[in-house]
Amino acid sequence: MHRSIEVLLFAAIRDAASTDTLNVPIDDQTTAGDILQAVAEQLTGVAAIVQISRLAVDGKYVSAGFELASVNVNETEFALIPPVSGG
């Protein structure tokens, strides 16, 4: 079954998308790494930043191998967090 999730965007990624969110198609085998790849493919101008960003699921960073099937995607917040600098 194919469906999509809404991913919150921040900083340069949000600016490149000209929106605060991006819909990403998923299926039963989708991982966090797949989400990063899908966003990079949709936003080619910031693909390099997306590839070094982290996906947060309900406010917690997850690894690239995190399987979305392990959460109820309809009740879960997904956010793409780019690297931050500063002290």
Measured CA to CA, the distance from residue 67 to residue 16 in angstroms comes to 27
Model pLDDT, residue 84: 82
CA–CA separation, 1 vs 32, rounded Å? 18
Domains and CATH numbers, the chain: 3-81 (3.10.20.30)
> 1 Cβ partners below 8 Å, 6+ apart?
27, 28
Q: What is the largest CA-CA distance in the chain?
A: 44
Q: What is the pLDDT along the chain (87 residues), one digit of tens a residue?
A: 569 999 999 999 999 999 999 999 999 899 999 999 999 999 999 999 999 999 999 999 999 999 999 999 999 999 999 998 765
Tell me the one-letter amino acid at 65: G
Note whether 76 and 83 are within 8 A (CB): no
The encoded tokens of residue 45 equal: 């101008």
What is the reported pLDDT for 1? 53
- Give the DSSP letter of residue 67: B
CA neighbor of 40 nearest in space, from 31, 30, 50, 32: 50
